[in-house]
Amino acid sequence: SPAAASPASDDGPAVIAHRGSSGIAPENTTAAVRAAVRQRADVVEIDVQRTSDGRLVNFHDCTLERTTDVEERFPGRASYRVSDFTWAELRTLDAGSWFDERFAGEPIITLRDVIRQLGRTTGLLAEISPCGHYAGTGLPEQLAAELRSIPGDVDDALEDGRLGVQSFVVADAQAFQAAMPDVPIGLLDAERPTEAELLELSTWADQVNPQFTVTDQALVDRVHELGMEINVWTVDEPGAMRRMRDLGVDGIITDFPQSLTLRG
């Protein structure tokens, strides 16, 4: 499996914009993706789910209430799960006002919309959402097909470490890996992985992506010894950013990429 997984350099860890620059714009929208590109994040992290009619969309929560006006637009629906809505329905929602009135009308966008906005230098880290269990449903294969449309040449993007996929769900990560083996694959983990888990991961995964709060020097060193990379989330405080950088992590997933891209 590929060695490069994120465009870390001598300048420090890759700066990965969590749901776009979600600290300053509504998460997973065009506004957040554009802000991340503008702020020179190395990579944009997004969350991939599927609509009831098979469109891959960029949305974090399993249901729509927190970040859209769905309850006003579709009152009394039995379910507000993303997967119970068609793309035609989802695209009518306002996914910006909850964050700030300045973003009123900002729509939900598709994975293809995200890819179109990246340009040829900003990378993509696509998370297969844990809201569905997608192995065996065709989603990993569809994700692979859509990633092949990344701007420029997919091989160039891979060579530059501009493309990656991650999931909390082992079966989903492995199904994607089977569909597109050249793309670095990461397993997300909220807990600190045990030695046994790390050994098992090293047989197939390229990245171990834990919550930063469980990440220490021993973990970073062990992941590296086993030939994998480590991207930590979600690191928003300057002190924590410095601490993670000093541990030698490969990528820092943050809502505020500018705090890191402004480094000297």
Active-site residue list: 18, 60
Q: Residue 212 touches which of ligand G3P, Ca ion, none (CB < 5 to 8 A by kind)?
A: none
**Interface contacts to Ca ion, rule CB under 5 A:** 47, 127
- Decide if residue 188 touches ligand G3P (CB under 6 A): yes
Peptide bond into 234 cis (omega under 30): yes
Q: Provide, rounded to whole angstroms, the least separation between the CB of residue 81 and ligand G3P.
A: 16
Whole-angstrom distance, CA of residue 244 vs CA of residue 257: 14
**Whose CA is closest to 163, among 42, 37, 18?**
42
Nearer of residues 39 and 234 to Ca ion, judged by Cβ: 234
212 sits near ligand G3P (criterion: CB under 6 A): no
- 106 or 127, CB closer to ligand G3P? 127
Task: Pick from 42, 45, 69, 229 the residue near ligand G3P by CB under 6 A.
Answer: 45
Shortest distance in whole angstroms from residue 163 CB to Ca ion: 16
The token duo for 120 is: 């040829």
Answer yes or no whether residue 109 interacts with ligand G3P by CB under 6 A: no
Under the binding rule (CB under 6 A), the answer on residue 126 touching ligand G3P is no
| H or E segment to which residue 50 belongs | strand 43-50
- Paired tokens of 42: 């190395």
In the set 47, 89, 172, 206, which binds ligand G3P (CB under 6 A)?
A: 47
Q: 89 vs 126, which CB is nearer to Ca ion?
A: 126
Site size toward ligand G3P, by CB under 6 A: 9
Shortest Cβ 52–Ca ion spacing (Å)? 22
DSSP β-ladder status, 123-128 and 43-50: parallel
Q: 162 is in the binding site of which of ligand G3P, Ca ion, none (Cβ under 5 to 8 A by kind)?
A: none
Which element (helix H / strand E) includes 179? helix 170-179
Radius of gyration, alpha carbons of the chain: 18
Residue selected from 5, 124, 253, 260 as contacting ligand G3P according to rule CB under 6 A: 253
Q: Which is nearer to ligand G3P, 60 or 162 (CB)?
A: 60
Tokens 């700030």 map to which residue? 100
Distance between CA atoms of residues 244 and 129, nearest Å:
25
Number of residues that make up the chain: 264
The CA distance from 220 to 226, in Å, is 10
Q: Which is nearer to ligand G3P, 175 or 187 (CB)?
A: 187
Contact 139, 180 (CB under 8 A): no
CB atoms within 10 A of CB 31: 23
Please identify which residue in 89, 127, 172, 255 interacts with ligand G3P, judged by CB under 6 A. Answer: 127
CA-based max dimension of the chain: 54
Instruction: Point out which residues bind ligand G3P (CB under 6 A).
Output: 18, 45, 47, 60, 127, 188, 233-234, 253
